[in-house]
């Protein structure tokens, strides 16, 4: 079996190792998520210094190591420069990367999720509205992972959604009717209009999502629900969500002020 291989990869995380090395977490299309050592990558003259910083899309040449594999060479395919210089877009980007990281298991290939993440990064870097894009990614990634929210049937009484909607339960993983809602402790408001928006964001591919205009308040609420939905099922807190919610509060404040003028 060959001890060298190459992969398409998105650099999701990095941390320092010793004085000049890095440990990078790569989401590879061919081999799933893996951690690898990038020797000498913190030296200023290193050829792989920039290529091993998130977020970067690379073709990485790897060697099998005793504990961790080694990054021997990187060819940068896209550096996503606008995500590095725009704080707001970087905040959304970090959320995307952490969410994908949370959904991945070590060395389990998930090419559909890889393609979805890569598409989201390209669109975000290209100027697409971050809020509906990241919300659509969250919905579609949860669906791909096998725990997408129930949007066609009420999760407690199992009646069709079309017969009325009263709320949403994170614990039960879907919509509730008006009769069931009072007896569910974690029930939160979830209007029919938000349900319709969620279905559209789930069904459309990301480039199509990026071309349309979406109701900001509903999409912001959906993203908040989806974060809680994912955290409940993965039992992992998304640390970047705190920064994202602070950014959204700033955006909401700016929108409210503009509406008053």
Q: Mark which of 63, 79, 95 sits at the end of a domain.
A: 79
The total domain count for the chain is 2
187 near 176, Cβ under 8 Å?
yes
Q: Give the H/E segment covering residue 1.
A: none
177 near 165, Cβ under 8 Å?
yes
For 119-139, the pLDDT digits (tens) are: 999 999 999 999 999 999 999
- Cut 0.75: pTM above it: yes
**Four-point Cα dihedral 21, 26, 32, 37, nearest 10:** 0
- 149 and 222 inside one domain: yes
The whole-number pLDDT of residue 23 equals 98
Nearest CA among 256, 230, 250, 244 for reference residue 102: 230
Look up the domain containing 219 and give its range.
Answer: 82-260
Phi-psi region of 6 (alpha: psi -120 to 50; beta: other; left: phi over 0): beta
Query: Cα(192)–Cα(198) distance, rounded to whole angstroms?
Result: 10
- 244 and 165 inside one domain: yes
- 96 and 213 inside one domain: yes
Which residue would you say has higher pLDDT here, 54 or 158? Answer: 54
Q: Mark which of 25, 49, 79 sits at the end of a domain.
A: 79
Asked if pLDDT for residue 2 goes beyond 80, the answer is no
Residue 36: φ, ψ to 5°: -150, 155
The mean-pLDDT minimum among 47-61, 82-96, 166-180 falls in 166-180
Q: Mark which of 47, 79, 111 sits at the end of a domain.
A: 79
Average pLDDT, the chain: 93
- 18 and 128 inside one domain: no
Q: Among all chains, which residue has been given the structure tokens 């003259």?
A: 45
Asked if pLDDT for residue 197 goes beyond 70, the answer is yes
The whole-number pLDDT of residue 111 equals 97
The whole-number pLDDT of residue 258 equals 55
- 213 and 153 inside one domain: yes
- Stretch 245-252: mean pLDDT: 85
For 20-41, the pLDDT digits (tens) are: 999 999 999 999 999 999 999 9
- 101 and 230 inside one domain: yes
The whole-number pLDDT of residue 261 equals 44
Q: How many CB atoms lie within 10 A of CB 178?
A: 12
- 29 and 145 inside one domain: no
- 71 and 182 inside one domain: no
The single-letter DSSP state of residue 150 is B
The whole-number pLDDT of residue 259 equals 57
Give how far Cα 211 sits from Cα of 131, 204, 227, Å. 13, 11, 24
- 95 and 212 inside one domain: yes
């Amino acid at each position: 079996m060959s001890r060298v291989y190459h992969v398409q990869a998105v650099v999701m995380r990095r941390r320092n190792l010793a004085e000049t090395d890095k440990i990078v977490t790569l989401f590879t299309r061919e081999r799933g998520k893996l951690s690898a050592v990038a020797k000498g990558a913190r030296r200023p003259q290193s050829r792989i210094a920039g290529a091993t910083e998130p977020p970067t899309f690379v073709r990485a040449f790897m060697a099998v190591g005793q504990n961790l594999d080694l990054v021997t060479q990187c060819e940068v395919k896209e550096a996503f420069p606008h995500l590095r210089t725009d704080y707001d877009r970087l905040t959304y980007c970090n959320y995307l990367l952490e969410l994908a990281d949370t959904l991945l298991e070590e060395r389990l290939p998930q090419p559909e999720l890889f393609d979805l993440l890569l598409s989201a990064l390209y669109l975000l870097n290209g100027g697409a509205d971050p809020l509906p894009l990241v919300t659509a990614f969250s919905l579609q990634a949860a669906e791909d992972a096998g725990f997408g929210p129930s949007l066609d049937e009420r999760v407690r009484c199992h009646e069709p959604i079309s017969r009325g909607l009263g709320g949403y339960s994170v614990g039960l993983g879907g919509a509730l009717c008006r009769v069931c809602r009072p007896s569910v402790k974690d029930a939160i408001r979830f209007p029919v209009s938000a349900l319709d928006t969620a279905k559209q964001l789930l069904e459309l591919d990301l480039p199509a999502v990026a071309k349309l205009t979406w109701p900001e308040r509903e999409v912001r609420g959906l993203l908040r629900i989806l974060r809680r939905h994912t955290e409940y099922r993965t039992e992992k807190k998304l640390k970047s969500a705190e920064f994202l919610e602070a950014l959204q509060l700033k955006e909401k404040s700016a929108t409210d002020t503009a509406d008053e003028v």
